[in-house]
Amino acid sequence: MRKLFILIMAAISLTGFAKTNEKKTTGTNQKHMLKSVNFDELKTIIHKNDNKLYVVNFWATWCKPCVEELPGFMEVNKNYSKDPRFKMVLVSLDLASEMDTKVKAFLLKNNIDVDVYILDDNKRMNEWIPAVDAKWTGAIPATILYRNGKRLEFKEGRLQKNELEQIINKHL
Amino acid sequence: MRKNRFYLSLIIILTMIGQINAKKMENTSEHKGYKIGDAATDFKLKNVDNKMVSLSDYKNAKGYIVIFTCNHCPYAKAYQDRIIALNNKYAAKGYPVIAINPNDPKLVPDDSFEAMQVRAKEKGFTFPYLFDDGQKIFPQYGATKTPHVYVLQKEKGKNIVRYIGAIDDNYANANDVSHKYVETAVDDLLAGKPIAQTTTLAIGCSIKAE
């Protein structure tokens, strides 16, 4: 009976990233979110009034500079995530239809251990790009820092690990 | 003594004015490239057929649909057929498509000139697909991503920027487009009307240059 329980737990952990709203654990025993949202839903996630510093990175699996900067982001997250005032969120611009295939495989392969939301709101890009920041041309990667819904930093283009640490330290 | 003090104050005031102006310059330099109403530069770039192409070659054109695009970017790929359709619809009306690949092939091998030739042949591009050799033209326009469209209108020998932005509002699904931004803009120009929406934003692949 106990063996069966362990087997079931192992099977659940192997399925990796959660498909829907619920958080599930992966093989590395860390909690992740993988969910597709529209821009209004995304706002409620990254504009929380909880005094946390939100580091929000817009990226996609097909975006080379995005993929190249992610290991640095994960290192930074490892160092800062113990701080209850810090939270990193990735916003993917991959197709929502590829969430359970391409995106999920990428996250597992690259040990992405932060919440990932697929922004599935293609037809309103012309509304939400300027809403994120007036300076954003729509090129990715782009990184924004928020606290209590207030935008503190906006960076379009690739960030090195030390650059990211610098802008986080400025606001943490 | 009094005279010296006067000159000193004058110098201080002038320096302050200088600083204010310098600050203003910094602010405006954030938005590099063309704005609506600016005159766009012509260029002489190599087409996939090895011939050089300039805007001024098109003697009978009323304007141009200049599109910075490339081979590798999924957004650019998603729009390939729609770019062909734009040229097929508007070249005869005086607004041909001129596509330019702004990426440095050293950074993106898929966007090499040879790869451009292959793509143009495979897809049967009906418009020039030019290589921005040395990546010198796209920064003047201020393009940051692919695809990035500039609709130009010929006016008194100049090419005036009339629209900057996306092709339409749905890269993922051509059958579910509600706003054909470029078509609407060119239709307005052809009708002699002011363009209702002169700039739009969309996600794209950042242009890769050193």
pLDDT band at B85 (very low <50, low <70, confident <90, very high): very high
Report the number of distinct structural domains present in chain A.
Answer: 1
What is chain A's length? 172
- Model pLDDT for residues A105-158, shown as the tens digit of each residue: 999 999 999 999 999 999 999 999 999 999 999 999 999 999 999 999 999 999
- In contact, A146 and A54? CB cutoff 8 Å: yes
Decide if pLDDT at B148 tops 90. yes
Domain boundaries, chain B: 1-30, 33-206
Instruction: Name the packing angle between helices A125-132 and A39-46 (round to 10°).
Output: 20
Residue A10 located in a structural domain: no
Residue A166 located in a structural domain: yes
CB atoms within 10 A of CB A144: 21
Chain B environment of A63 (Cβ under 8 Å)? 205-206
Residue A104 located in a structural domain: yes
Residue A85 located in a structural domain: yes
Determine the distance in angstroms separating the CA of B89 from the nearest CA of chain A, rounded to an integer: 24
The strand pair at B97-101 and B129-131 is best described as parallel
Nearest to B75, CA basis, from A50, A28, A29, A139: A139
Determine the distance in angstroms separating the CA of B67 from the nearest CA of chain A, rounded to an integer: 15
Decide if pLDDT at A24 tops 50. no
Determine the distance in angstroms separating the CA of A9 from the nearest CA of chain B, rounded to an integer: 38
Instruction: Give dist(CA A19, CA A12) in Å, integer.
Output: 12
- In contact, A171 and A147? CB cutoff 8 Å: yes
A139 with B145: Cβ contact below 8 A: yes
Instruction: Give dist(CA B104, CA B134) in Å, integer.
Output: 7
A137 near B CB under 8 A? yes
pTM of the model: 0.82
The complex scores an ipTM of 0.78
Fold adopted by B33-206: Glutaredoxin (3.40.30)
- CA B162, distance to chain mean position in Å, is 11
Supply the DSSP string of A45-79, one letter for each residue.
Answer: HHS-SSS-EEEEEEE-TT-HHHHHHHHHHHHHHHH
Instruction: Give dist(CA B148, CA B167) in Å, integer.
Output: 8
Supply the CATH number for residue A124's domain: 3.40.30.10
Q: Which domain holds residue A66?
A: 32-171
B-chain residue closest to A124, CA distance:
B169
- Model pLDDT for residues A60-97, shown as the tens digit of each residue: 999 999 999 999 999 999 999 999 999 999 999 999 99
Supply the DSSP string of B145-185, one letter for each residue.
Answer: EESEEEEEEEETTEEEEEEEE-S-S-SS-GGG-S--HHHHH
Residue B3: strand, helix, or coil: helix
